[in-house]
Every structure is written in structure tokens, then in C-alpha cells.
Structure 1
Amino acid sequence: MRRANRAAVVRTVHLRGATSRAALAAGLELNRSTIKSVVDALAADGVVVESLPVGRQGAGRPSMVVTPCPRAAWVVAVEIAVGWLTVAAVGLGGGVLGQRGAGPVRREVDPSELVGRVADAVSALSAELGSRPSAMGVAVPGLVRASDGLIRRAPNLGWSDVPLGELLAAATGLGVLVRNESDLGALAEHVRGCARDVDDLVFLVVDVGVGGGVISGGVSIDGAGGYAGEVGHMAVRRDGRACRCGSHGCWETEVGEGALRRAVGLPSEGPRSHLRRELVRLRNEGAPPPDELVEYGRWLAMGVGNLVNLLDPEVVVFGGLLADALPLVVDTLTEHVAAACLLARPTALVALVPSALGASGPLLGAAEVAFAGILDGI
């Protein structure tokens, strides 16, 4: 029981940050003497610190505020994306203690080369912090077998059946958990972002392709093999464009980066910063969006409507380029999602919101899956 109470307090302050003893007692349904005993032990072990509340008013003895010590335990969070590789040290409480941009990631990158770069970054972060990490979480844009971190397929990296989890574990000596980047984006928004207190959400992101993550009843929906959430490959247009997956008419071909570039009149290839600048320019103009962007919004609404009908989320979170485009298409999106949904008054039930974490989402989600396995032992 003592161990369970300790784990519950650690988990709470990790996810919620500074929390008063009184709030811990109420939230965990423990008496104050138990909370005092647990917190005193954690403070003695250097896991938390206590302080008087700031700006306290009123009479009576104040309830001490319990704050996690970031360096009491830290994990490595890795994001592998088309174009970049980021390796970060994330401490207890979710704060980033250090970060390494480990060089660009080109298409068809050799997995062993990338693993070596991650291992070098982990060594550098360990030396900087003067301690070893407890675990590693990795975000990857592809189909990931959750049981062992096998990358079944990552078309944008040119990977098939790459045992990334095993390779990273062998190179670093850490326990490694590999997940799809969109699933981790959903997790991050759920525990630290705009859907923090929402148990049913869909997270959608446009990077090169389209990814999705689902939280239902507070739990990530992974599927039997860990491949759930490949929403970009829903078939939406029988006579549609060829998709990188080998099929035709996937949702990705109508709302992915290439489609968004067409909608704003940019070339199919070019720096993503140019696309983001064009979206900002159109927002700042304040004029009605061009017809091509309205059409883009309709295709976006078709897929979102299907997902709302299927999953009944409370919130749909838009990340990546979708967050940049959302203000320009939200009216079209709202109208057509309402028309596509079977639910009564769906727009009153479903919030359509941009990501609060932006590009940091998958990295923070990777940290959370790594922490999930170690919090009970801190």
C-alpha cells in the first residue's frame, strides 16, 4: 500500500506539476497524514521539493506545495521526422532539460546511421546532466509494431521491417518504446496540451502525409498490432490521385501537404517555411479564402466527419500544417462536418481546435510513454 501511494503521488505531480498537499489528499482520496508521510519520504529521496504557496491569502496554516524535481529521473525522447532528428532529455514533470538536433534526416536514410546519431546524442546529454536516463521513447512517422518497436513501414523514410527498438536498445543499453508520431501527438495533447482534461479525442496532423491518433475513454487506441490511426489512407475518391502507399484516392492525396500547396498556389516541392508564410499571409489579409482552399476544407471535412461518426470524440485537435491552415478553413470545415455527421447538432458536441503544443507534441508524447514504465519505481 505504501508503494502504491508513493507511485500515485509521483504520477500526479509528474502530470500536474506543483500541487498542494491538500489537493493531493483530495484528488487521491488519501488522508492528510498519509500524504504527509509519502511526501516527506519523497522529499528525503530528492524526488520532490516543498514550498509555501505564492500569493497566499487568508488565515490558518497554508498547505505546502509539492513540486517534482526534474533531475530526480529523466528519459530520452526522440523524434524522427522527414527532414530532422531531435533527441531530448525530459525530466520528471515533463520539462526539457537538454536537447540535441542530431542532423537532418534524408529520405532513404540508413537506419544504422540514424541509430548511431541517436546514441551519440544520448551520450552527450548524459555527460551534460551527469547521470544516465531511465528509458527512451521514440516517435516515428510510420507503421510501428508496439510490442517490439519494429517499423513495419515508413514510406517517407524508405523503411520496411526495420527493428528500430532492438537497434536502439542495443546501442544505448536503455529500455526503448517506439510509437507512431501521431499517436504520441494525441497522447501529449491529452496529458499536457489542449485536451488535458478530455478523455475522448482525435488528433490529426499534416506533415508530409496525414496521421491520426485516437484517445477513447482516456486510453490510446492502438489496434491489435499497434497500427491503428492510419487515417490518411481512408479511401475518399475513387478516381483520385495516386498515393505513396500504392493506392489511389486516399484522404492524404486530398488534404496532405501536396494538396495544401496546390490549394494556396505553391509549387509541389519547396521549403515548408514558404507554405507556412503563405498561410500566414492569407490569414492576415482577412479576405475570404480562395476557392481552392474552400475545396480543400471540404475534403478535410469529409474525413473529419467520418471520424466523428465513427469515434464520437469530444475534441478534434489539428496539428502540424493543419493547425496553420485551420483559421482559413474553419468555417467550411464546421459547415461540412455538421452536414456529414449523423449526430444531432454535432458542432455543439465536437470542438475543432488547433494543437497547443505545436511541433513539440510528438517529442513530449515520446517522453510520456518512456515515463509510463518507470514512474511506479521512482
Structure 2
Amino acid sequence: MTSTPVARPDEVRRYNRSTLLRTLHLTGPCTRASLAGELGLNRSTIKTLVDGLAGAGVVAERVPRTQRQAGRPSLLVLPRPEAAVVLAVDVRVGHVALALVGLGGQILGRDGWNLRERTRTPEEVVTRLVESAGPLAADLGVRPVACGISVPGVVRRADGHVHEAPNLRWSDVALGSRLTRALDMPVVVGNDAELGALAENLRGRATGAADVVFVSADIGVGGGVIAQSASLRGGAGYLGEIGHMAVHHPGGRPCYCGSTGCWETEVGEAAFCRALGLPETSSRGRVVAALRGLRADDEGARRRLGDLAEWLTLGLVNVVNLFGPELVVLGDLFTELPAPVLDDVDRAVRARSLVSRALGGVRVRTSALGTDVKLLGAAEAAFEDVLDTV
């Protein structure tokens, strides 16, 4: 007869400590009483855990500013941002953004630079990143303990190997191992849309949703999937290149990936330019300004963006039928679509998707995290292991 393994008391304490810290990191300040209720632990256990974290400088406590009940107040427990800091990096086709993010998700400081053809090589990006991270950390008086990086490409999550990032013109780049050596800290590299989905699920529009698809439009189009509250990664971590769904019969527009008729050729940045009557080489700022100029003209917006909205709907119907999410979150350029156009897409996806009808409707919404969504996702990827060791 085999016996059932029993967790040792020290293992239980570590688990409870990690769970409490993760709760504070994601939800922010909580009273001891609310922590006890949320984690299902008694108050004496919460007191022991909080006292230990406070003694280690990881959390602080204060009396709430408003006390509605008579008697002794339940102390408010706050994560101390400087107690655990990670470096977050978002590599885009035309720009690199980096930030130092503290416990609780607070951005402590930022830097960034524009990319041009000659500065877009992996070697240039790695060199500039290392040169920028050190001074930023020194200025803030902190030391990051891990790094998360968002890249618009096919990334092997296990070791951060970028198999291909067509819009960056990168192929077979050992980014994870290079930066681990250069920065002397653990590095997590992820697909940008996957990390965007993670950020939305933990801190954005999709908080509390178990099944979510995040779809973003930059030069290209990417997707990240949250299934049953966990990131869906596919074989070796290669998942989410929904921008390269074939939506045309052979003969569609050529795509950066080398194929033709990919979805991103009809809903990516170049497609926005065509719909707005702008040169396809127009700057992002000019595209955004043109989209915002349509906000006061509902019918004009529908007329100018009607074809793009139809292609967006077509792709989202396929995505919804495939993954069955309760929520689709649109990021980057899609967040600038005028409200009437987004409403039309939302209604059409619900009406035309078989899975949406079976679920009683799938909501299509825009990101609440703005341009920081992938940066925050990179930070959360770095924090995943850090929170178990603080």
C-alpha cells in the first residue's frame, strides 16, 4: 500500500508566502482581513506571513486612510516596488522601449530609442540594450534581478531563441542566451502578442477572464491566447502568428513572411495607410492622426475603413471559431479605430461566428493598457519566477 505524499510545513509556508506576494503584486494594497478571506488562510497565518515579508523589506504596512468600522483597523499591506525589480523590453520594428518595473507592476523608470535599417540588427539591439539598462538602474538606485523581452516574431520560449521575426529581418537569433550572458541575469523572451495577452489578462481589459485572445496590429499582426487562465504556447512555444493566416485565394498581396494573401496584408499598418489614402511608408503618428480625424464623422469613418473592417471581421471570426474565447482584446493600431467601426466589427463577429453564437456572444474590446501593454507583459513574464524567490 502506497502512502499519499504530505507537504512539509516549510513547503506549505513557502507556497503561502509566494501566493500572498503574488496577490499583492497583481491586486495592489490589501488589508490583512481581505488577504485572509481571499487566500482562505486564518488571520494568525496571515500575520506571520506579512510580518516575515515586512521584516525582509518586501512589504510595508499602514493604517487605511478611511476606516468605516469601529474598533481596531485591519492594517493595509502594500508591496514595496524596490524590493524586486525587473527589466522589461519591448522590441518593435521601429522602436525599442525598456523600463524598470518594480513589485506591484509600478514602472520606476524608462528609456527607449528609434530603430532604423542599420540599427535593427540583433547585435545593435543587444549592444544598445546593455548600454542603456545599466545607467537607468544606477540612476534609480535599483538592481534588476531578471529581464523579460517582447519580440514580434516566432520565439522558442524555453531558451528565447528567435526562429524568425520577418518584419525585423531577424532569423535564428539566440537572443535569450546572448542577453543572459550580457546582462548577467535570467532572461525570458516571448512573442509580443503572447506577452500582450498576458498583460491584458493580469492587469488590463481581460482581468478575471479565463479564455481570451489578444490581437494587435503594428507593421504586422500577431495574436496571443489565454486558455483556462494560462498562456497557450503550442509546440516549442511557437503559437500566435495569426497575422499569417491565409485569407485570400492564391493571388493576394505579398507578405513579409514570403507568402501571399496573409491576413496582416489586409489589416496591418500598410492596409491602414491604403484605407486612409496615405502612402504606405507613412509614419505611425500620421496614421494615428488620420484615424483620430475620423472620430467626428461616423459615416465617413465607416466609408473609409469599411473594407479594412470587413477583413478584420473575417479574421476575428476565424480566430473565435478556432479558440472559443469569451473576450477578444484589440491592441496597438486597432485601438485607434473609430468607435462606430469597432461597434460594427463587434456585432458582426458575434453574428457570424458559430462559436460566438454557441457561447451567447463573444465581446470584442480594445486594450486598456495603451502602448505599454507588451512592455508590461514582458515584465510579468520576468516576474513569474522572481515572485517565488523574493
TM-score normalized by the length of structure 1? 0.96
Of 83, 87, 90 in structure 2, the residue corresponding to residue 79 of structure 1 is: 90
Of 321, 326, 332 in structure 2, the residue corresponding to residue 309 of structure 1 is: 321
Name the count of aligned residue pairs.
377
Q: Structure 1 residue 14 and structure 2 residue 25: aligned?
A: yes
Give me the whole-angstrom Cα distance separating, in 1, the residues matched to 2:341 and 2:358: 17
Amino acid at match of 1:106: R
Of 295, 299, 305 in structure 2, the residue corresponding to residue 287 of structure 1 is: 299
In structure 2, the partner of 1:145 is 156
Q: Would you say the 8 A contact 2:324–2:356 is kept in 1?
A: no
Q: Structure 1 residue 111 and structure 2 residue 91: aligned?
A: no
In structure 1, the partner of 2:145 is 134
Q: Would you say the 8 A contact 2:356–2:362 is kept in 1?
A: no
Q: Secondary structure at the match of 1:171?
A: helix
In structure 1, the partner of 2:6 is none
In structure 1, the partner of 2:259 is 247
CA RMSD of aligned residues (A): 1.5
Measured against aligned partners, the alpha-carbon deviations of 1:313-332 in whole angstroms (never above 9, x if no partner) come to: 11110100011115242243
Give me the whole-angstrom Cα distance separating, in 2, the residues matched to 1:339 and 1:81: 34
In structure 2, the partner of 1:318 is 330
Measured against aligned partners, the alpha-carbon deviations of 1:7-39 in whole angstroms (never above 9, x if no partner) come to: 111111011110111111111110000000110
In structure 2, the partner of 1:56 is 67
Measured against aligned partners, the alpha-carbon deviations of 1:301-341 in whole angstroms (never above 9, x if no partner) come to: 11101111111111110100011115242243134313421
Q: Structure 1 residue 366 and structure 2 residue 378: aligned?
A: yes
Give me the whole-angstrom Cα distance separating, in 2, the residues matched to 1:338 and 1:206: 21
Structure 2 unpaired stretches of 5+: 1-11
In structure 2, the partner of 1:90 is 101
Q: Displacement, 1:121? A: 1.6
Q: Displacement, 1:131? A: 3.5
TM-score normalized by the length of structure 2? 0.93
Q: Displacement, 1:122? A: 1.8
Of 354, 364, 379 in structure 2, the residue corresponding to residue 342 of structure 1 is: 354
Amino acid at match of 1:244: Y
Amino acid at match of 1:304: L
Amino acid at match of 1:104: N
Q: Displacement, 1:81? A: 0.8
Amino acid at match of 1:50: E
Amino acid at match of 1:263: A
Give me the whole-angstrom Cα distance separating, in 1, the residues matched to 2:30 and 2:309: 42
Distance 1:292 1:284, change over 3 A: closer
Q: Secondary structure at the match of 2:247?
A: coil
Q: Would you say the 8 A contact 1:18–1:67 is kept in 2?
A: yes
Q: Secondary structure at the match of 1:237?
A: coil
Q: Would you say the 8 A contact 2:273–2:282 is kept in 1?
A: no
Give me the whole-angstrom Cα distance separating, in 2, the residues matched to 1:284 and 1:197: 34
Give me the whole-angstrom Cα distance separating, in 2, the residues matched to 1:300 and 1:346: 21
In structure 2, the partner of 1:173 is 184
Equivalent residues in 2 for 1:207-218, closer than 5 Å: 207-218=218-229
Q: Structure 1 residue 329 and structure 2 residue 324: aligned?
A: no
Q: Secondary structure at the match of 1:376?
A: coil
Give me the whole-angstrom Cα distance separating, in 2, the residues matched to 1:312 and 1:107: 39
Q: Displacement, 1:347? A: 8.8
Percent identical: 48
